[in-house]
Amino acid sequence: MTEAALPAPMAAPPVDRERLAAIGFVLPSFLIIAGVFALPLVLLLGVSIVDASGLTLAHYKRLLGTPYYLWVIWNSLRLGLLTTLIAFVISYPAAFALARARGPLRSLLLATLFLPLAASVIVKAFAWTILLRSDGIVNETLIALGVIEDPIRMIFTESALIVGAVNIFLPFMILPIYAIVAQLDPRYAEAAATLGASPVGTFFRVILPLTLPGIIAGVALVFSLSVSAYVVPTLLIGERYPTLATTIAKAYLLAREPGFGAAAGVVLLAIAIAVVALSARLSREPK
Amino acid sequence: MMTRAAIVVCWVMAIALALFLLAPLLVIAAASFSPTPVFDLPLTGASTRWYGKIGRLDGFWPSLLLSLQIALLSTAISLVSGTLAAIAIARGKLPGAGVFATALVSPLMMPGLVLGIALLQGFRAVGFTAPWATLLVAHLVITLPYVARTMISGLARFDFTLIEAARTLGCTYPGSVLRVMVPALAPSFLIAGIFSFLASFDNYPVSIFLADVRTKTLPIRMLQYIEEAPDPTLAALSTLILAGTVILLFVSDRVVGLHRMAGTSD
């Protein structure tokens, strides 16, 4: 009775103060994300639908209506898909070996993942231009071994691009998969075997579903990085393989067509958002 | 658990993957000692003269200085604001904390080039065009997600009642934060700092749209050297950058352990 009669504000201030402090704590980060990330992206959307005469969809029509630019979009998607697929095929089994490694061997393997991850993208792409030159190390080794007689053209081919992209984005695939595999309880597989499952059945019905969150994270990360890569295609293949990323750069840095560049940017952004949304949805699937 | 063949395949893949990942780094280090100007491996005699030529690359020193300034300052600002935000998120007193945590790390998944042109348009629209300042502000968005991600997961393991415990045992509030929270979070702080520094120092896709002729970051300058006239001097510069990265990683391995950075707890 007496408690109910007490004025409510007496109890309220501490709660409000904590909430106020929390808001104060996030304010700087909120301003950065809202002002220097969200707002400019919205503005970009605006730039992509105006030209000198007002509102227009001309930039999108040009991008999605000419065979050349559809090929450019397909180039980006193909770079993303091939890189992701190859990186996954290499990373998935390797993650299991990494999870079984102990002691110095594990440290060594992890170091070989972290060093390339932390190393500069430009440095790595540059290294591949040296490796793949016609007078480069790969060619000279193959000639010395007698595999080929004359140097084969490697740099500025799609193979060079994919090899370089896989190399540069691989750590982003294996690390999320490894993080899940390392926490896998071996008793699940043992239980499946005890209950009569074959090794193949155990893999497809127990291990693969349990490691799916790592796969989803790795695939989403590698695809969104490689589909929008700029430095790698610029150095390893150049003009012969235009992508959305190189088209954006060209529209802004050379052709001075911000509206068209913005439209290409919005398409690339839409691809990235679709990947994030899809991966979030997949990892929230039942159970 | 797994059949023998599967285990062999896993190990073969892991070893192939390790060699494949290290190959470009080893090659560039070897080529930096090339005896000739065409990236030969130093099989017939090594030369260190390319290292002496780094400083004479056109515009190298201003670009190095600019990249260091931007990387250090943006990392410092992001460490403070990102850690504060992570604390608020972890304490759970913030409405919509989950959504905000996602928003904080979302720039990591967005194409850098798109962020670059968006910032160029945005800064132009408000008349903010000084290259140095725009680079710094832009790099806050590059570094903040790394800090936020690392500090949010670091704080998820931190037990805030420890601060209360320290106060019960006679510590002042700032004293208990300093003696309980800071040591517990120092490893996450270090990892966040190193990775956001590297992300900024290596960024090309955002910086390229904000730089001008006189204000070029080191990655922009390096790509220009590579496209114009690549010679072993660039391999030497790359090797020095790699050596710096190795030192940073070595320090973080000593302090935190690589296996914890990889996301495993044991």
What is Dmax (Cα atoms) for chain A? 98
Residue B55 confidence (pLDDT): 87
Tokens representing B6?
A: 């599967």
Question: B187 and B75 in one domain?
Answer: yes
Distance, CA of A281 to chain centre: 17
Q: Give the mutation candidate from A123, A172, A275 for the B interface (greatest B CB count, under 10 A).
A: A123
Residue B253 confidence (pLDDT): 82
Residues contacting residue B191 through CB under 8 Å, at least 6 positions apart = B150, B252, B256, B261
Question: B109 and B188 in one domain?
Answer: yes
A3-7, B111-115, B196-200, B202-206: least confident range:
A3-7
Question: B76 and B54 in one domain?
Answer: no
Numbers of helices and strands, H then E, in chain B: 13, 0
For chain B, the straight-line distance linking the first and the last C-alpha, in angstroms and rounded, comes to: 21
Q: What is the DSSP letter of B56?
A: G
Q: Is residue B220, in this structure, part of any structural domain at all?
A: no
Q: Give the mutation candidate from A16, A33, A223 for the B interface (greatest B CB count, under 10 A).
A: A33
A58-284: CATH architecture: Orthogonal Bundle (1.10)
Please give the average per-residue pLDDT across A209-233, as a whole number.
Answer: 93
Most confident of A51-55, B83-87, B250-254: B83-87
Question: B199 and B88 in one domain?
Answer: yes
Of A40, A227, A245, the CB nearest to B118: A40
| Better-predicted residue by pLDDT, A283 or B14 | B14
| Spatial distance between the Cα atoms of A14 and A18, rounded to a whole number of angstroms | 6
Please give the average per-residue pLDDT across A236-247, as a whole number.
Answer: 92
Question: B46 and B127 in one domain?
Answer: no
Q: Give the closest residue to B195 by CA, choosing from B115, B105, B117, B113.
A: B105
Residues of A in contact with B103 (CB under 8 A): 33, 38
Residue B67 confidence (pLDDT): 96
For chain A, the straight-line distance linking the first and the last C-alpha, in angstroms and rounded, comes to: 47
Domain boundary among B172, B189, B215: B215
For CA atoms B95, B98, B102, B105, give the dihedral sign.
positive
Angle, CA of B95, B96 and B97, to the nearest 5°? 95
Please give the average per-residue pLDDT across A177-196, as a whole number.
Answer: 86
| Shortest CA distance from B236: residue in chain A | A123
Contact B82, B147 (CB under 8 A): yes
Of A190, A199, A248, the CB nearest to B113: A248
Number of Cβ within 10 Å of residue B58's Cβ equals 10
ipTM: 0.88
Tokens representing A56?
A: 């227009």
Q: Is residue B224, in this structure, part of any structural domain at all?
A: no
Please give the average per-residue pLDDT across A247-261, as a whole number.
Answer: 92
| Spatial distance between the Cα atoms of B22 and A115, rounded to a whole number of angstroms | 8
Distance, CA of A238 to chain centre: 21
Angle, CA of A264, B198 and A84, to the nearest 5°? 50
Contact B86, B148 (CB under 8 A): yes
Q: Give the closest residue to B75 by CA, choosing from B194, B157, B181, B172.
A: B194
Number of Cβ within 10 Å of residue A161's Cβ equals 28
Interchain pair B258, A123: CB under 8 A: no
| Spatial distance between the Cα atoms of A133 and A129, rounded to a whole number of angstroms | 6
Tokens representing B231?
A: 């010679």
- The distance of A5 to chain B (nearest Cα, Å) reads 28
* CATH code assigned at B117: 1.10.3720.10
Question: B103 and B54 in one domain?
Answer: no
Residues of B in contact with A220 (CB under 8 A): 109
Interchain pair B112, A228: CB under 8 A: yes
Identify residue B141 by its one-letter amino acid code: V
* Secondary structure class of B44 (helix, strand, coil): coil
Q: What's the whole-model pTM score?
A: 0.88
Residue A30 confidence (pLDDT): 94
Is the pLDDT at A287 greater than 50? The verdict is no
Question: B141 and B41 in one domain?
Answer: no
Interchain pair B223, A130: CB under 8 A: no
Backbone angles phi, psi at A50, to 5 degrees: -125, 150
Q: What dihedral do alpha carbons B216, A243, A231, B39 form, nearest 10°?
A: -120
Interchain pair B14, A33: CB under 8 A: no
User: Over the Cα atoms of chain A, what is R_g?
Assistant: 26
Domains of chain A, residue spans: 18-56, 58-284
| Spatial distance between the Cα atoms of A266 and A264, rounded to a whole number of angstroms | 5
Q: Give the closest residue to A130 by CA, choosing from A122, A75, A51, B68.
A: A122
Residue B3 confidence (pLDDT): 75
- For residue B196, the enclosing domain spans 61-215
Residues contacting residue B64 through CB under 8 Å, at least 6 positions apart = B218
Residue A14 confidence (pLDDT): 55
Q: Is residue B152, in this structure, part of any structural domain at all?
A: yes
Number of Cβ within 10 Å of residue B160's Cβ equals 14
Domain count, chain B: 2
Contact A87, A165 (CB under 8 A): no
Contact A170, A86 (CB under 8 A): no
Please give the average per-residue pLDDT across A247-269, as a whole number.
Answer: 93
Interchain pair A123, B264: CB under 8 A: no
Question: B121 and B37 in one domain?
Answer: no
Contact A233, A82 (CB under 8 A): no
Q: What is the DSSP letter of A206?
A: I
Of A38, A110, A124, the CB nearest to B262: A110
Contact B219, B207 (CB under 8 A): yes
Residues of B in contact with A262 (CB under 8 A): 117, 121
| Spatial distance between the Cα atoms of B261 and B197, rounded to a whole number of angstroms | 16
Identify residue A148 by its one-letter amino acid code: I
Q: Is residue B225, in this structure, part of any structural domain at all?
A: no
| Spatial distance between the Cα atoms of A155 and A128, rounded to a whole number of angstroms | 8
